[in-house]
Amino acid sequence: MDEMGVAPVAAAEEEIQTAETRKPGKDILDRTWDFFASVPVATVLLFVIAAASVGGSLIEQESMLSTVQAPGDYYAARYGPVMGTVLFKTGMTHMYSSWWYLTLLFMLGISLIICSLERFVPLWKAVQRPNPAPDEGFVRHLKNHFSFRPHQADAPMVALAEALKARRYRVVEKDGRLYADKGRWGRWGPYITHIGLILVLVGAMMRAIPGAYFDQFIWVRDGEIVKVPNTDFFIQSEKFVAEFYDSGAPKLYKTEARILDGEGKELLRHDIVMNEPLTFRWVELYQSSFKQELGKAIVSLNERESGKEIGTFELDLLQPKPMYEVGGYKIRVVDYFPDFGLDSAGKPTSKSSQVNNPGVVAEITTPDGNSFTNWYFVMYPEMEFDPSIPVKFKTLDMGVVSTTGLTVKMDLGVPVIYLGLLIVTLGTFATFYIPHRRYWAMVEGPKVLVGGWTNRNQGSLVSEMQRLGHALDPKTNPLADQMEGEER
- Residues numbered 427-456 forming contacts with ligand HEM, rule: CB under 6 A: 428, 431
Per rule CB under 6 A, count of chain residues that contact ligand HEM: 17
- Least separation in angstroms between CB 193 and other proteins: 9
- Residues numbered 4-33 forming contacts with ligand HEM, rule: CB under 6 A: 9-10
Among 158, 204, 268, 471, binds other proteins (CB under 8 A): 204
**Amino acid in position 87:** L
Among 165, 251, 269, 321, binds other proteins (CB under 8 A): 251
What's the CA gap between 127 and 6, in Å, rounded? Answer: 10
- Least separation in angstroms between CB 416 and ligand HEM: 17
Give CA separation, 454 vs 12, 316, 461, 481, in Å.
15, 78, 7, 20
402 makes contact, choosing from ligand HEM, other proteins, none, with CB < 5 to 8 Å by partner type, with none
What's the CA gap between 196 and 344, in Å, rounded? Answer: 62
What's the CA gap between 212 and 210, in Å, rounded? Answer: 6
Q: Quickly list DSSP for 346-363.
A: S-EEES-SS-SB-EEEEE
**Amino acid in position 116:** S
| SS3 of residue 375 by DSSP | strand
Question: What x/- string results for residues 122 through 151 when contact with other proteins is judged by CB under 8 A?
Answer: ------------------------------
Residues sharing a CB contact under 8 Å with residue 206, sequence separation 6 or more, in sequence order: 212, 213, 411, 412, 413, 416
Q: Quickly list DSSP for 284-337.
A: EEEEEEEEEEEEEEEEEEEETTT--EEEEEEEESSS--SEEEETTEEEEEEEEE
Question: What x/- string results for residues 90 through 129 when contact with ligand HEM is judged by CB under 6 A?
Answer: ------------------x--xx--x---x----------
Closer of 1 and 218 to ligand HEM (Cβ): 1
What's the CA gap between 477 and 483, in Å, rounded? Answer: 16
431 in contact with other proteins (CB under 8 A):
yes
Among 66, 152, 275, 319, binds other proteins (CB under 8 A): 275
Residues 15, 7: contact at Cβ < 8 Å? no
Q: Which residues here bind ligand HEM, judged by CB under 6 A?
A: 9-10, 37, 39, 42, 46, 108, 111-112, 115, 119, 190, 193-194, 197, 428, 431
Q: Which residues here bind other proteins, judged by CB under 8 A?
A: 9-11, 14-15, 39-40, 42-43, 46-47, 49-50, 53-54, 56-58, 61, 63, 95-96, 204, 215, 245, 247, 249-253, 273-277, 284, 286-288, 407, 409, 411, 414, 417-418, 421-422, 424-425, 428-429, 431-433, 456-460, 482-488
